[in-house]
Structure 1
């Protein structure tokens, strides 16, 4: 049945067309009839088990994603407007961004120049520091979740986000997560942390400037084995970014550079390249207990 015959979700949102996937969900372009603006709506699809669809799991995942993203307000984090349940399905209403992912951009260009990569990293790190300052861990940063709009860099898909220190958060890495962008300690079953997000952030910048992931290959099991057992290959195209990448991709999370340190290094690279940026600042939110800053 065509989407034109659908009744508006919540008597407010008219679905127009699907635009892609976001983890285990479908993204729709839709129109908010009340505010008369287009929005993006993520339809959360349940995972299937031997005894059928995991509807309760889908509901928990939708609530976690919406609540995690909704507590954040930063240009580098996708804005969440609404959450509704209808017809046994969960729907998250978000801002609509006309954007390419970092993954798509690198696929078109081969790799990005150092100053582009540094600018993307500096903008994205602002959103990540804001999230960590609010106690939110993303846990799935990769080039497919980084959106480039032309004047914004936006982190999307908080589908497996968790609150820092939440004992109920699973330590299992979901199957849809690309192992080349998951911190080694998480692949070994340890709890996610801000440092693990920073490893994934560094792996995404490595992909941008090198044109390939830190552990290349199409065999997920082989990539997983390499990611657990060895350091990434040294970057060869990164130039002054090499210091940032090597600091972020240290296997021991306690040795990894902090977000503040990475922000200072990236801003220095941009100034050296003649790109004006504001000095890096600490997040406005108070850091949570058990602060990860060194």
Structure 2
């Protein structure tokens, strides 16, 4: 089959909700190209179908004006069999979703590199007033040299234009920003939300709102928190959760996203180990404070140095809301079932009573002073108050942290582990306890430490 008398179709490369991609030979220029056969949604009237095709042609031509090393170039749009076909560069390699499916989750450093390339592409498109509207792993191509390119601007739209009805629902629900699903106006922040969902999938191995059917996915995007991240470092998790905020006004700005990704991409990576972001690295330009409503609901997240001068003023002026330290899904992950929160003075308690062990998690905050030095001194005093040999340091968790194999008296449980850490001038106590055998197990320590990691990630 030939298109427009010059593009000879040779083989099918892939298929998705928006159409089928074919390999073809441009017989005029004697080169291989990729051609996307645009498929209109089913159930459209003749008029709606014609409108869909007209928009696809218009928007593909708009995307054809984009020229950037991280964007798959659109060369032509032709009509064949009453359907538009979009002619693009043929990029050898695999799509990101295929890489994840075949190789598993990617190292965090590599995901950050991919994120920077896609961010470059999006900012180039946004500068021309074009939204991509379908950023997802299937539309990120990884070339043989490792370079990541963004493709398929087939449902792209000029920024500020609002589509209605069937046209607004084009795309994959797990990677569509909440405002799109709500039928609200979208903007560059919508593409960045989709980028965050894509990077989340790359580092965790599954999407943030994975469900079995499309309707459940859309409901999760609108109503639920992302699944807890278990492979990402606290720094990366903090960034992605902020980008996935359901309110576009609270998402971090592109320049902030870029700075964090640059730091993560330049970070150390030990063979065979999960990369850990360097929590103490000072971002370019100094401390950045952004108001967000991240999934943990802690209000303010901060991208700042975790190792300021000892006599510096701390960054916390008020105690965070303890019962919003952890999401419902995180509590379910930690305790094995749902548990209601019970607010206490400067703290919060969750208890599950299904297992018969009364598994209990307690979180408490304290700001002893506006001074970092004073907070560090108090943490040292608390460390010294425990019997010798009962506690061990936990480097990398926060500015300072230690773990003690002893139940918190307030938990009223027989067995438990307590984690105490300091971030700036805030001291955080995380205690996990249970009834039953008094012998502390690695699982007890794991629950307490994991809870502390999640809280630290939310605090920023």
Range of TM-score over shorter length: 0.7 to 0.9
Match of 1:263 among 237, 245, 258: 258
**Rg: which structure is higher?**
2
* CA contact 1:138–1:197 (8 Å) conserved in 2: yes
Per-residue deviation at 1:244?
1.9
SS at match of 2:266: helix
Cα displacement (A) at 1:119: 0.7
> Paired residue for 1:245, among 240, 249, 271?
240
1:102 pairs, out of 79, 96, 101, with 96
More moved, 122-131 vs 43-52? 43-52
- SS of corresponding position for 2:53: helix
Partner of 1:185: 179
Q: Which residue number corresponds to residue 224 of structure 1?
A: 218
1:134 to 1:261, Cα distance in 2 relative to 1, 3 A: same
Aligned equivalent of 2:108: 114
Q: Which residue of 2 aligns with 1:17?
A: 11
Residue 22 of structure 1 deviates from its aligned partner by: 4.3
Q: CA deviation at 1:177?
A: 2.6
Q: Distance in 1 between matches of 2:15 and 2:83?
A: 16
CA contact (8 A) 2:56 2:155 kept: no
CA contact (8 A) 1:68 1:158 kept: no
Determine the structure 1 residue equivalent to 2:189.
195
Aligned-partner Cα distance in 1 for 2:22–2:223 = 39
Local SS of the residue matching 1:49: coil
The structure carrying a bigger strand percent of its residues is 2
Q: 1:24 to 1:180 in 2, by over 3 A?
A: closer
Pairwise CA distance, 1:126: 0.6
Establish whether residue 163 from structure 1 lines up as the match of residue 152 from structure 2.
no
Q: CA deviation digits over 1:207-264, x for unaligned, max 9?
A: 0001111112212222222211122123121113122212211121111011111011
Deviations 1:128-185 (A, max 9, x none): 1111111110111111111111332111111211111125x33767556322211122
Query: 1:109: Cα distance to partner?
Result: 2.0
CA distance in 1, matches of 2:188, 2:45: 35
Asked whether the equivalents of residues 111 and 202 of structure 2 are also in contact (C-alpha less than 8 Å), the reply is: yes
State the TM-score, normalizing by the size of structure 1. Answer: 0.84
Farther off after superposition, 42-51 or 256-265: 42-51
Using the alignment, how far apart are the partners of 1:50 and 1:217 within structure 2? 27
Q: Which runs of 5+ in 2 are unaligned?
A: 270-283, 285-460
TM-score by length of 2: 0.55
CA distance in 1, matches of 2:125, 2:37: 23
Paired residues in the alignment total: 268
Are 1:208 and 2:202 matched, yes or no? yes
Greater CA deviation, 70-79 or 158-167? Answer: 158-167
Matched with 2:20 is: 26
| Cα 1:198–1:98 shift into 2, 3 Å | same
Partner of 1:135: 129
CA RMSD of aligned residues (A): 2.2
